[in-house]
Structure 1
Amino acid sequence: MLTPLKKKAKHMKSQNKFLLSSVTLAVLTLMSQAQAAEAEAQAAATATTPAAAPAATPAKDSVAAELQTVVVTGVAGARGVRKLDSAFSITTANEEQLKAASPSSTADVLKLVPGVYAEATGGQSGANIEVRGFPSGSDSPFVSVQMQGNPIYPVPTLSFFEGSSAFRLDDTIERVEVLRGGPSTIFSDGQPGATMNFILKKGTDTPEGTIRFTTGTGELRRVDLFYGAKIGEGWYGSVGGFYRTTHGVRDSGFPSDDGHQLTATLTRKLDQGELTVYARSTDDKNAFYTGVPLISANEGRGISAFPGFDPLKGTLMSNEMRRFTVEAGPGRTLNYDLGDGRGLKATVFGAEFDQTINGWNVSNKFNRFDGDMNTIAMFTGNNPLTMGAYKAAAIASANGDAAVLAAAGRPATSAAATYLTGGAAVPDSTQVVQAGLWAVAKKLKSFTDELRVSREWIQNNTVTVGAYFANYTSEDEWYLGSSHLMTAVPNASLINVRLNNGVVVSNNGKEGPVFFAPNASYDGSNTAFYVSNEWKVNDRVKVDAGVRRERQKISGSVSNLVSGDTDANPLTVYNNGTSMPSGAYTALSRKDTATSFTVGGNYKLTKDSSVFARANSGHTFIAFDTLRNAGTQANVDDRSQNPTPTVKQFEVGFKTVGALYSAYINAFHTQFDGIAFQQILANGSILNSVSGSKGTGLEFEIAVRPVKNLTLSLTGDYQKSEYKDNPATAGNDVQRQPKLQFRFTPTYKIPLGDDNSLKLYATYTSIGARWADQANTQYLPSYRTIDAGALYAIGEKIEVRLAGTNLSNELGLTEGNSRLTGASSGPINARPLFGRAVEASLLYRF
């Protein structure tokens, strides 16, 4: 008799066998029908050749544009392929679709993409992004962010860096393409998860200029500019950017976002080719938001507001703590500003070249990134408690420390707590919270280059050979810890605590030392060669395959750490045990090689509908953080603790576009082996583990146009993804990923005559329940939000837009307390959605 666990395993094996069989059957179908379908396809093409038609209506225009949408991400040829004819899952969004989505950050754009869940509640930077079935606990290890087809930084994530933080949205963006899995394991940086490629606007024969003013919640003031035009025979240029300042939805009392950006392109049209050079400079300061006090009931199933704290608009940050000091060592103090947050001060310079020469297509893309991506931010720690409880714990801790007790000469029997400002006593009933003010300096540099050569060596069969090179560095200086004691209210006040035996527990609010202070220099290089073949069997069937061989070399010089008292006074317990570099360094390095492949095919059912199937195998390499965490070369070389993760993916999909509907639907299965996880707790200890995962699911993007000017869109995914291989977590749901998420968006356009129109749109979003941790103890409830907007077009020159997000003020959590383990009821720290926000903008075209 089968136990429930064995039944579940048998059921999952059956599902996997069924999906694998489906993939096999789909590929065999593509091949078996190839020759038989050729004559029918030619007849269908002749029958569907359109005659001259009258001018299309706006609805027909949008359908026609979708039919002709060409994607360049994950495609061997630099000139792309029609989206409907691609044999992989890819989501596209043009400029208007991006604006209508009202993304709060670059990462928030991914809410348009099924199979991806982006936690964008930290602000402009520092998102956590999860990809269908891929196990990740924070940041975005399986999402690469590209500009013009090249990764901005070739490693998708490091501690205190994730790719979307290196990119800012503005009106210089023409569109975005987001590829999931598919052939991305072969090209560029070989990302097996999701590749987010932003395409810039370029100058054209028709001059185009826009200026847009935006205001809204949080005293938002923003201006966007763009101009592109022909500047000479065969020469085109564009320039644009933004300036913005705002206090944000969560007003800390100082600007949460304050910065600007400038982007320019220069294009030279060539005979059968094109060369584009681009540059972007960004200087943007962005406050970073972590958890706020909340009340948890039934171990997280029920979440409510903490008394006196608005979880939708409040933040603990305040002007009182904005500028803080870190005690880095004896006689060494460093000053920081929370207003700098997780900002970006960087330049990107790149070029893309595409040329056909005697039947050979040669393309090359390179870029250079140089930027400071520092993190100056508050990180919440232990759950809220009363001032009385804190004082009792402080007395017990001081009396239990032999060195402190000896220096004091007698045990403490009482504690006095006073506000930093004004010096009034803090009542024992006051709710307080501890939060670290962390400072991480991170200077990143990289150079990437990808060269491809393609040729149709026999009729309808094209071979592409390519090479990818990357060099990248990171200079790090960390000061984690510096816990501060403050009131559990918005714009908190700092608290000083002293014991009656002379022990100073909290000074200027600081009640804990720096607990981790490494500084390090890292260097990495990546070299990959690949070959891809695409065979157009006939007018209906196209198959492709590719293989990639890749090598990575990384090295680092990491400071050794010692622990000490910065003022040699054991009675000032807030700086006892401060972590600091010893002056000695450990040199660490590692080399890895891996092979990836992909094979897929597309079968055209009709001119504008098709099915596809694909299988691929990819990998990720360890990164600089592994060197730092390992500590010794022996640990770095231990592949049982620091493996090279591999991932296998299988997909079958269906695509169609017509006057009344569009549909992009695909089923997927992933198998992930060996990935290392790290979690830094509030007390400075680090948890490490290694797990694999498996996932099966369905993604969908569907649009229905039942009547003229009305579109009903539904996007989302259902998945069942769980850990495997690690006995401590095997069978648990992959953390942070909902089983079901979807977004329903109705759009209605009202023509008003004389080229005027009013477009109304709204989005209902449903995010299913998730687990915040691998152990599946921290429950994150499901939530639903409503966004809406209106766009009033006045002729061809003026647009007025009004948009609102989270209009229902839904209290949904995107993150639990990542600094603690286990479930908790009562007061907790967690990160919720931003509350209701409204923006209004005025755009003028010239």
Structure 2
Amino acid sequence: MTHVSRLLASAAALALIGFAGSACAEDAAPPPADTATAAAPADIVVTGSARAQRRFDVSYAVNSMSREQIRKLAPRSMTELIGSLPGIQTEATGGEVQNITRIRGIPTDRGYLYYQQDGLPLYQELDGYFFNQGDGMNRLDLMTQRVEVVRGGPAPIYASTAAGIANVITRTGGEHPQGEAQLTLGTTGLYRLDAYQSGKLARDTYFAIGGFLRLNEGYRDSGFPQDKGGQIRANIVHNFSNGSLKLSGQYTNDRNEFYLSIPTADPRNPSVSLNPYINYFTGTLNSSSLQSVNIRYKDGAGNIQTQHGDLSNGRHITFGNVALDYEGDFGPWHVSAKGGYTKGKNHFDALYSTSNPVDANTYAAGYLNAARTAFGSNVAALGYAIAGTNGQSVYNPAASSGLVLSAQYRSVQANFYSGQGDLSVTRKFETPIGQHDVRAGVYASRYGSTEFAVYQNYLMPVASNPQMLDLVAYSSTGSVLGSVTDNGAINDAVSLVGGKYDGTVVALYGSDTWDITSRLRLDLGLRREWYDYSGTYLPTTSANLGNAATLADDATRAFTGQTLHQGYKATATNWTVGANYDVTRHFGVYARASQMEVPAGASAVVNATLTTTTTKAKLYELGLKASFGRSYLYLTGFYTKFDPLSASFSAYVPSTGRSDQTVNFTGTARDIGVEADGMWHVAGPFSISGSLTVQDPKYLNFASTTGADSSGVNGKQMVRQPRIYGNIRPSFDFVAHGSKVSIYGRYDYISKRYVDYPNTTALPAYGYFTLGAQVEHDRWSAQVAVDNVTNAHGLTEGNTAGDVLTGQGTSTAIFGRPLFGRAARLILSRKW
């Protein structure tokens, strides 16, 4: 039985859970909405607030995306879903997980967008060791009821290090049994089955269970399947006369490919495309020849160890989570108690870009003297051969692009845990001057991780799914005298990391929603946090592994045998003040100021140098809101100041194979902008939705702590952040012959960005179209979604290992992660 067949057979077994529950109701009328839907429609939000409120009534920017809205958007990842909102710039070109999100110009790859599931994180910190608790741990499936996203506002009060919160609300059961099975087939070799079932277990006790299984050959041709695995989530809810208790569980076991940047033009002549050798839409440097990697290094006792790697493993994360959630009313008091525990592991094999392509003859000439020193003066020339053939299978770069390049294989392992709990009480008070809704709470978390990583650089041609190359030393008679590389490896174990950390955070927080009049509301919030980190770091040194036949092992990394114990403590104070005034029932204004302090994360103790800088972010916003029936518009002006921004850049140095060149800057990141989110019900079945962000993200007051010239940075546009981005989504929704029909489109636009701080190399602006159609009849539905319909070109990221400081030597980027090409999905589902 093939892997696909086994996967679909397992998925079918999961679907039977639902079909069994529907058998007794086959001839019944369509079921009513479940309790979760009835209790929390899309315009009701619970995130960032003491109590559930209408979106229109809150004094901050928030979106609530319902299950039906998510279905229509048909995102391929959580990041693609979040990217439909204003104020959040995304780069979703790295695969299904571990993508980039930035909120209102905050200059980090995750932008302090803090994920929660039913009000608690799955892992305390934004980023674990090569996994993140955003799309890295949260995957959409039929158990997702809705996703609420807060941008700025009170986010720093309700989560640590949060400039925004994405809260994934899961489905729960109700009085009537409900279920759904969904099959997705895609042109990328995608096979996915989702299933869900909910119902009543006993009086006042309900259940819900669901998940997905998925196999995807991938968006680029790596030579092996790239996404495989799934997850299951379940909960049991018991209702009391004054509240409820919910027990939840989740198990995720999923492998996901990481796509690195690729070269798109010849650096010797940027007008020459490399598309004939590595296709813009389907090409990747990921290679099936890296499915059996051996990386040698020395342990602390001086013994040579071998780390085995398989690139097809991808980012393989496995974790389980259990959570308990209690909500209860005791007279005027509302009590909320949440607790959760997560334990898991992440085994990550990936290929990262390092240097740009270089002329093959120039590259070889750079190693000639070293080869003669190592193998003798009778070395006549260096030439290329297919890796592992002892120089016998000669490769001639001139027969293809004439270029070679290096990339870095990373083998990373982490075992992690995270326990977290939140207890709060809320009460309303009547006063002579309005009503106060006061909430006070305590949050605590204990979490940690062990870390191990070893990197190795490989030599390869510019080709898709390339074979690795050896650079071989030949005599004048063609005899092999030695090799610069070792079975394709330029540098064995060029980087080695080992250690562990444990962290504790305790936070006290409070908020007051003061309804001064029926139209005027004032919000206040304060959060005080205490951090305590401890850990160990295993120092490394340079070592020669003693293989005289190659240069690749002359300067590997080795553990010294020492153990460095480190720890530090920090505090943070976050606050927020907001005001909301409803001019009429359909028009309102609001204003808010917030502060967020971000200490260095727990992983700082797993470093040779302990850096404990705390960064402070000031967040200001002013909003206008209008709501008329099905049409609405939310317009928010924002100002973000991130200070100090400590930026340390390690540039890849080809001669050593390491990121040896480090430049440190300290300055301020500032962003001013306007974001719009709206829907216009034009007439009849036609409506237009969309979001737009216009901003001016800049670096200010930059200075170098190492003497480097920073004058070229000040006032420049932040790296990889556009001035304009957004989308427009027309939709035509009608009923025909008893069926609901929706035909819709989407156009996304991203303006010009830069790969480097001095803004010398630009990532050009781009836009792309998505089309879809959905038909629902009785309990059946069919949907077609086509991504990047016109095969639009768009480049993201650049080559972060080498171009952040100085660019790519061209005015327009010739190295980056392109958009995925046109792909279609067919989604069939049945509800009961």
* TM-score calculated relative to the size of structure 2: 0.88
The residue aligned with 1:786 is 769
Shift of 1:513: 2.1
Q: Using the alignment, how far apart are the partners of 2:725 and 2:269 within structure 1?
A: 23
**1:554-573 counterparts in 2 under 5 A?**
554-566=533-545, 568-573=546-551
The residue aligned with 1:75 is 49
Does the Cα contact within 8 Å between 1:660 and 1:706 map onto a contact in 2?
A: no
**1:653-692 counterparts in 2 under 5 A?**
653-659=623-629, 661-682=631-652, 683-685=658-660, 686-692=662-668
Change (3 A) 1:410 1:105: same
Give the count of matched residue pairs: 759
Does the Cα contact within 8 Å between 2:321 and 2:342 map onto a contact in 1?
A: yes
The residue aligned with 2:800 is 818
Equivalent in 96, 109, 116 of residue 68 of structure 2? 96
Shift of 1:266: 0.7
Q: Report the 3-state secondary structure (helix = DSSP H, G, I; strand = E; otherwise coil) of the residue aligned with 2:507.
A: strand
Does the Cα contact within 8 Å between 1:291 and 1:380 map onto a contact in 2?
A: yes
Does the Cα contact within 8 Å between 1:225 and 1:241 map onto a contact in 2?
A: yes
Aligned pair 1:697/2:680, yes or no?
no
The residue aligned with 2:23 is none
Stretch moving more, 207-216 or 725-734? 725-734
Change (3 A) 1:345 1:161: same
Aligned pair 1:498/2:490, yes or no?
no
Q: Using the alignment, how far apart are the partners of 1:84 and 1:65 within structure 2?
A: 17
Change (3 A) 1:675 1:466: same
Change (3 A) 1:237 1:722: same
Does the Cα contact within 8 Å between 2:216 and 2:225 map onto a contact in 1?
A: yes
Shift of 1:725: 3.0
Does the Cα contact within 8 Å between 1:189 and 1:468 map onto a contact in 2?
A: no
The residue aligned with 2:693 is 717
Q: Using the alignment, how far apart are the partners of 2:61 and 2:173 within structure 1?
A: 30
Does the Cα contact within 8 Å between 2:732 and 2:743 map onto a contact in 1?
A: yes
Does the Cα contact within 8 Å between 1:141 and 1:157 map onto a contact in 2?
A: no
Shift of 1:243: 0.5
Shift of 1:684: 2.4
Q: Using the alignment, how far apart are the partners of 1:394 and 1:709 within structure 2?
A: 68
Change (3 A) 1:248 1:326: same
Q: Report the 3-state secondary structure (helix = DSSP H, G, I; strand = E; otherwise coil) of the residue aligned with 1:244.
A: strand
The residue aligned with 1:776 is 759
Change (3 A) 1:216 1:75: same
Aligned pair 1:838/2:824, yes or no?
yes
Q: Report the 3-state secondary structure (helix = DSSP H, G, I; strand = E; otherwise coil) of the residue aligned with 1:275.
A: strand
Stretch moving more, 376-385 or 656-665? 656-665
Q: Which has the higher helix share?
A: 1
Q: Report the 3-state secondary structure (helix = DSSP H, G, I; strand = E; otherwise coil) of the residue aligned with 2:511.
A: strand
The residue aligned with 2:238 is 268
Q: Using the alignment, how far apart are the partners of 1:246 and 1:522 within structure 2?
A: 35
Q: Using the alignment, how far apart are the partners of 1:127 and 1:830 within structure 2?
A: 14
Q: Report the 3-state secondary structure (helix = DSSP H, G, I; strand = E; otherwise coil) of the residue aligned with 2:538.
A: strand
Q: Using the alignment, how far apart are the partners of 1:614 and 1:391 within structure 2?
A: 60
Aligned pair 1:736/2:730, yes or no?
no
The residue type paired with residue 450 of structure 2 is E
Q: Report the 3-state secondary structure (helix = DSSP H, G, I; strand = E; otherwise coil) of the residue aligned with 1:517.
A: strand
Q: Report the 3-state secondary structure (helix = DSSP H, G, I; strand = E; otherwise coil) of the residue aligned with 1:100.
A: helix
Q: Using the alignment, how far apart are the partners of 1:331 and 1:655 within structure 2?
A: 65
The residue type paired with residue 562 of structure 2 is A
The residue type paired with residue 776 of structure 2 is A
**1:556-705 counterparts in 2 under 5 A?**
556-566=535-545, 568-629=546-607, 631-632=608-609, 636=611, 642-659=612-629, 661-682=631-652, 683-685=658-660, 686-705=662-681
Stretch moving more, 534-543 or 682-691? 682-691
Change (3 A) 1:65 1:706: farther
The residue aligned with 2:18 is none
Shift of 1:159: 5.0
Shift of 1:349: 1.2
Shift of 1:607: 2.2
Q: Report the 3-state secondary structure (helix = DSSP H, G, I; strand = E; otherwise coil) of the residue aligned with 1:684.
A: strand
The residue aligned with 2:522 is 543
Q: Report the 3-state secondary structure (helix = DSSP H, G, I; strand = E; otherwise coil) of the residue aligned with 2:123.
A: coil
**1:492-531 counterparts in 2 under 5 A?**
492-500=466-474, 502-531=481-510
**What's the CA shift string for 1:245-271, capped at 9, x where partnerless?**
011111212110010111001111122
Equivalent in 99, 111, 121 of residue 83 of structure 2? 111
Aligned pair 1:413/2:395, yes or no?
no
Change (3 A) 1:420 1:569: closer
Please, which runs of 5 or more residues in structure 2 have no aligned partner? 1-37, 476-480, 653-657, 704-709
Shift of 1:700: 0.4
Shift of 1:433: 2.1
Q: Using the alignment, how far apart are the partners of 2:269 and 2:569 within structure 1?
A: 44
Equivalent in 451, 462, 467 of residue 442 of structure 2? 467
The residue aligned with 2:355 is 382
Larger RCO (alpha carbons 8 Å, 6+ apart): 1
The residue type paired with residue 113 of structure 1 is L
Aligned pair 1:254/2:234, yes or no?
no
The residue type paired with residue 508 of structure 2 is F
Q: Using the alignment, how far apart are the partners of 1:379 and 1:224 within structure 2?
A: 32
Q: Using the alignment, how far apart are the partners of 1:65 and 1:202 within structure 2?
A: 11
The residue aligned with 1:761 is 744
Change (3 A) 1:303 1:415: closer
Change (3 A) 1:297 1:739: farther
Please, which runs of 5 or more residues in structure 1 have no aligned partner? 1-63, 400-404, 637-641
The residue aligned with 2:101 is 129
**What's the CA shift string for 1:415-459, capped at 9, x where partnerless?**
132123775311141432211111111222111111111112335
**1:220-369 counterparts in 2 under 5 A?**
220-295=190-265, 305-329=274-298, 330-369=303-342
Q: Using the alignment, how far apart are the partners of 1:286 and 1:839 within structure 2?
A: 19
The residue type paired with residue 802 of structure 2 is L
Q: Report the 3-state secondary structure (helix = DSSP H, G, I; strand = E; otherwise coil) of the residue aligned with 1:213.
A: strand
Shift of 1:487: 2.1
Shift of 1:747: 0.5
Shift of 1:168: 1.4
Change (3 A) 1:592 1:411: farther
Q: Using the alignment, how far apart are the partners of 1:526 and 1:590 within structure 2?
A: 12
Q: Using the alignment, how far apart are the partners of 1:65 and 1:801 within structure 2?
A: 27
Q: Report the 3-state secondary structure (helix = DSSP H, G, I; strand = E; otherwise coil) of the residue aligned with 1:112.
A: coil
The residue type paired with residue 106 of structure 1 is M
Q: Using the alignment, how far apart are the partners of 1:552 and 1:299 within structure 2?
A: 52
**1:404-443 counterparts in 2 under 5 A?**
405=373, 407-410=374-377, 412-420=379-387, 423-429=392-398, 430-443=402-415
Change (3 A) 1:375 1:680: farther
**What's the CA shift string for 1:207-248, capped at 9, x where partnerless?**
110000111122111100001112111101000000000111
The residue type paired with residue 740 of structure 2 is S
Q: Using the alignment, how far apart are the partners of 2:371 and 2:79 within structure 1?
A: 45
Q: Superposition RMSD on alpha carbons, in Å?
A: 2.2
Same amino acid, percent of matched pairs: 27
Stretch moving more, 451-460 or 112-121? 451-460
Shift of 1:828: 4.6
Q: Report the 3-state secondary structure (helix = DSSP H, G, I; strand = E; otherwise coil) of the residue aligned with 2:168.
A: strand
Q: Using the alignment, how far apart are the partners of 2:112 and 2:693 within structure 1?
A: 18
Change (3 A) 1:67 1:424: closer
Q: Report the 3-state secondary structure (helix = DSSP H, G, I; strand = E; otherwise coil) of the residue aligned with 1:575.
A: coil
* TM-score calculated relative to the size of structure 1: 0.86
Q: Using the alignment, how far apart are the partners of 1:263 and 1:746 within structure 2?
A: 34
Q: Report the 3-state secondary structure (helix = DSSP H, G, I; strand = E; otherwise coil) of the residue aligned with 1:182.
A: coil
Equivalent in 138, 149, 156 of residue 167 of structure 1? 138
Equivalent in 139, 143, 149 of residue 178 of structure 1? 149
**What's the CA shift string for 1:293-347, capped at 9, x where partnerless?**
21178999x8955432211111122222222111123531121111121222111
Q: Using the alignment, how far apart are the partners of 2:464 and 2:268 within structure 1?
A: 25
